[in-house]
Amino acid sequence: MSFSREKAIVRSYQAAFDESQVCDVKEVVESYVADNAKVYAWYPFDSCTTPAQLVEELWVPLKQSFTRMKRREDVFMGGENGAGNGKWVMSMGHFAGLFDAPFLNIKSTGKLAFLRYAEFFEVENNKIVSHAIFFDLIALMQQVGLNPLPVETGHSFVYPGPCDHNGLLFEDQDPAESKKTIDLVEEMVNDLDSLNKSGNDDCPPELLAKCWSEDMVWYGPAGIGATYTIERYQQQHQFPFRKGLKDKEFNGHVARFSEGDFACFFGWPNLSNTASGGLFGMPASGIRADMRVVDVYYRKGDKLLENWVLMDVPYWLKQQGLDVLARTTTYG
Cis peptide before 204 (omega within 30 of 0): no
Is the same domain home to 133 and 257?
no
Cβ pair 222, 139 in contact under 8 A: yes
Domain with 61, as residue range(s), is: 4-143
CATH at 247: 3.10.450.50
* Total domains present in the chain: 2
In a domain, 254, yes or no: yes
Sign of the dihedral defined by the CA atoms of residues 270, 276, 277, 278, in that order: negative
Mean pLDDT for the chain overall: 95
In a domain, 159, yes or no: no
Structure confidence by residue, pLDDT tens digits, 135-148: 999 999 999 999 89
In a domain, 166, yes or no: no
Is the same domain home to 183 and 317?
yes
Using alpha carbons, select from 48, 55, 65, 57 the residue that is nearest to residue 17: 55
User: Could you give the 3-state DSSP secondary structure of residue 313?
Assistant: helix
How much of the chain exceeds pLDDT 90, in percent?
A: 87
Sign of the dihedral defined by the CA atoms of residues 139, 143, 147, 148, in that order: negative
Is the same domain home to 195 and 315?
yes
Cβ pair 226, 261 in contact under 8 A: no
Is the same domain home to 36 and 91?
yes
Structure confidence by residue, pLDDT tens digits, 18-31: 999 999 999 999 99
pTM of the entire structure?
0.96
pLDDT confidence tier of residue 86, bands split at 50, 70 and 90 = very high
Which of 37-41, 74-78, 238-242 is predicted with the least confidence, judged by mean pLDDT?
238-242
pLDDT confidence tier of residue 329, bands split at 50, 70 and 90 = low
In a domain, 162, yes or no: no
pLDDT confidence tier of residue 330, bands split at 50, 70 and 90 = very low
Is the same domain home to 109 and 180?
no
280-311: b (≥16 Cβ within 10 Å) or e: bebeeeeeebbbbbbbbbbbeeebbbbbbbbb
Structure confidence by residue, pLDDT tens digits, 138-191: 999 999 999 898 889 999 999 999 999 999 999 999 999 999 999 999 999 888
Task: Please identify, among 143, 158, 192, the residue that sits at the C-terminal boundary of a domain.
Answer: 143
User: Could you give the 3-state DSSP secondary structure of residue 183?
Assistant: helix
C-alpha span between 255 and 269 (Å, rounded): 12
Is the same domain home to 115 and 215?
no
Is the same domain home to 93 and 241?
no
Q: H/E element holding 73?
A: strand 66-80
Structure confidence by residue, pLDDT tens digits, 114-131: 999 999 999 999 999 999
Is the pLDDT higher at 150 or at 102? 102
In a domain, 82, yes or no: yes
Is the same domain home to 137 and 52?
yes
Strands 127-135 and 33-41: parallel
Q: Give the residue-averaged pLDDT of 2-14.
A: 98
Is the same domain home to 60 and 187?
no
Is the same domain home to 193 and 324?
yes
Q: Give the residue-averaged pLDDT of 199-204.
A: 81
Is the same domain home to 189 and 252?
yes
